[in-house]
Amino acid sequence: MSNIAWLGAQDPFPNPLLSPDPDPSVPGLVAVSERIYPGQLSRAYQMGIFPWYSDNQPVLWWSPNPRMVLKPADFKCHESLKKTIRNFLNDPSKSVEVDHDFAAVVRSCATARRKDQDGTWITHEIMDAYTKLHDEGHAHSIAIVDHGQLIGGLYCVAFGGMVFG
């Protein structure tokens, strides 16, 4: 029997650090909700919880353990990557834009074709919720532009010195 919490608009998230997986058959799933309610996404990220679901599913809230953690101090930039970055930045037709057109970056991520995948978890509800986080200053985008066209990018969420992407 599943003990996964079903959340309403004001219900708190279960603390994933204080309790084991509520349902061992789906490790990391901590809660479910009908939709993403106002303020819920901010509260979730501050607890290390994020939504990941598909159209026609309830919102599934996750906090997997272990988590992948990238430490900037441990990053080693190889010479070939440095050269690629220098060449890119020295080309006047190319640019890197931060928080310039957040919605376009998220839309592009949602529509990017992925090998062996039929769809995306970036639903219209997700786009709206993350755009609101961006408007509040907590979500950010990095766009790679070539001749005025978006050719790549990413978006992330930042809370309390942590960046989630």
Task: Return the beta strands (E) in 41-99 as ranges.
Answer: 50-51, 59-62, 94-98
What whole-number distance in Å separates Cα of residue 89 and Cα of residue 91?
5
Of 36-40, 77-81, 98-102, 152-156, the one with minimum mean pLDDT is: 36-40
Average pLDDT over residues 65-94: 92
What whole-number distance in Å separates Cα of residue 74 and Cα of residue 51?
28
Task: Please provide residue 81's backbone torsions phi and psi, each rounded to the nearest 5 degrees.
Answer: -70, -40
What whole-number distance in Å separates Cα of residue 65 and Cα of residue 27?
8
Average pLDDT over residues 27-50: 93
* pLDDT grade for 8, boundaries at 50, 70 and 90: very high
| Helix pair 102-111, 124-135: axis angle to 10 deg | 160
- What is the torsion angle, in degrees rounded to the nearest 10, for the CA atoms of residue 159, residue 78, residue 83 and residue 104? -30
Using DSSP, state whether 86 is helix, strand or coil: helix
Using DSSP, state whether 124 is helix, strand or coil: helix
Average pLDDT over residues 53-66: 91
Domain with CATH 3.40.630.70 in the chain: 72-164
The pLDDT > 70 percentage for the chain reads: 98
* pLDDT grade for 2, boundaries at 50, 70 and 90: low
Fold annotation for 1-68 = Alpha-Beta Plaits (3.30.70)
Secondary-structure class of domain 72-164 per CATH: alpha beta
Domain with CATH 3.30.70.3550 in the chain: 1-68
pLDDT at 1 over 80: no
pLDDT at 22 over 80: no
What whole-number distance in Å separates Cα of residue 126 and Cα of residue 52?
9
